Structure 1
């Protein structure tokens, strides 16, 4: 219980620090959102128009007062209005968030599901074809940009072979993006899982299990899977950040209406409310995945409870 309270307090303090830092950086950006809005909306650039917009958006207030006002509204469910579209930011995110979550969670789940058997057979048959393929995949995804590989697969699978319909308005549109998101993570996670299994195979209790008649594969699974899964969960926390970047790339590359695509459109307009909300959504995403991984690790190792 004490650990839970401590974790909650640390999470709240971390989110507050992130919100203040991001709000300060976004507010101090050189471009004036009022000037951009006047140009985009073709409004008359009069002093009255500028003053009215600045007053409506609270840009005429000191930064600390604006931050506290924004924080109170944000916690109350009012995320402000987009400078670019004029619509409530929360409504824009609610509309687009399912696409981004579907891509990110599906890609991460697929990576975990593939990493365990790939890492296991790589450890059970070192220098075998599976181990070599896993190593080659790990090097390949580190060397090749995700957007370039996406363009190539889009042309080969979508245009030449017509196996996928990347721009269709149904579930088939996300098949290729999910595979690309999972590709990097499965290469990293499988090598982490394999490494921990190989470390277990050098322990005395593993040799004892072999002496009792278990095959090497049986001994690896019974005595190495639990600790290897623990290491895998630790690696997932770092992969969560990569999944965010991969999801953003896939949304832009395949024209998917997620929050990352909306963010890119808002950056040029210096849409401060959208940028701030995106930072907080990403922070919460990382916090939730980190908390989920910690909970799973505690279940695997009760000594951490």
Structure 2
């Protein structure tokens, strides 16, 4: 009977389009967290499969595993985990959470307990103690009208606050029960949950866009610096090449000037030698004339 009823409840949870949020109860410290299954395939988680809750002088930590239309989804550890904390396994789909109660001192969850549709109790967690002055009791029960399929709250080093998401398969009975218990219920239809998921994804996209824009800006600055550095290096290389060419040209200019000087010296030497040769030739021609005169004179003497 339990198996048949559990399977029927599981089918109803998958088919129902109505999710509601109840709570949270507790303090305002720590950071907010929400495991309502906003991105789940059926518009929300379909049940709680396993939970591991730390218990000391208060509820120190929480870790849940959910069902998403037959697929196990592990939540995020809230608070400080103790490796010695046992894990409580539910016989899902046949067993679901239908009741939660506890105490908070307006700062932390001090005591907590759950019950399933099979009347199995989980907990208590925390320490109820004797002096509960200033503590506030909270309780939500939805037997035969809904089941807990997700959690939300606030946590730091400990559990500051806790709330639940409920899949409702008998709305009339459920809301009537909530009114009698004095519990405020917030509708969380798949559409609203999807919108919330879209908003969260939009925020993540904005953060990612900001990060990418920052990386692009830093990349452009690095590229500009690299271009400037390369420009300086190229300019330096160009200047060095120009200087080498100038030195080469200067060297060639000096060589040409030296050759011109040598050429002029050679031309002067050639002119000098030419003059000496002309003088020598002139003297030779004079000697030759004188010799002819002497021969003529000697001939005349010998014939006398």
- More strand by proportion, 1 or 2? 2
Is the pair's TM-score, using the shorter chain for normalization, greater than 0.5?
Answer: no
- More helix by proportion, 1 or 2? 1
Looking at CA atoms only, which structure, 1 or 2, has the larger radius of gyration?
A: 2
Larger RCO, structures 1/2 (Cα 8 Å, 6+ apart): 1
TM-score when scaled to structure 1? Answer: 0.22
TM-score when scaled to structure 2? Answer: 0.22
